[in-house]
Amino acid sequence: MELICIVCPNSCRLKVTEGANGIEVEGARCKRGKQFAYDEMTCPMRTVCTSVRTTVKGFPVVSVRTSAEIPKDKIFKLMQMLANVTVTTPLPSGSVVLSKVFDSDVDVITTTDMEI
């Protein structure tokens, strides 16, 4: 399998094989790429960036992101949850709009300063 490492802007092209010795990775310029490939093969994780609705004047939506990575297969469920979130007061950047998603330590936080 071929993967492009997304950990840093070098975008190394990784060749990943799974054999008797476990997962082997070629093409990574550093250890982080090998870890990325291993994680992609076992439990791929992503930081999610999106937006949620608000009722605040001048902000029909506000940009948000997860405070850390979540399992890739939970992204769709998270988007469904965020569709039900509406921010009703101006918030500073970094405010939590959804806490402890999937019973983890990950929150969804704003990435825009709505305070004027």
Q: Find the shortest distance in angstroms from Cβ 5 to ligand SF4.
A: 3
Instruction: Go through 11-39 and write b for each residue having 16 or more CB atoms within 10 A of its CB, e for each that does not.
Output: ebebebeeeeeeeebebbeeeebbebbee
* Residue 23: both structure tokens together: 């997962």
Binding residues for ligand SF4 restricted to 13-52, rule: CB under 6 A:
28-30, 32-33, 36
The answer to whether the beta carbons of residues 110 and 91 sit under 8 Å apart is yes
85 counts as binding ligand SF4 under rule CB under 6 A: no
Backbone angles phi, psi at 32, to 5 degrees: -65, -35
10 counts as binding ligand SF4 under rule CB under 6 A: yes
3 counts as binding ligand SF4 under rule CB under 6 A: no
Closer CB to ligand SF4, 5 or 114, in the complex: 5
89 counts as binding ligand SF4 under rule CB under 6 A: no
H/E stretch holding 28: none
State which residue has the least CB distance to ligand SF4. 33
How far is Cα 116 from Cα 114, in angstroms, rounded to an integer? 6
7 counts as binding ligand SF4 under rule CB under 6 A: yes
Q: Which residues bind ligand SF4 (CB under 6 A)?
A: 5, 7-8, 10-12, 28-30, 32-33, 36
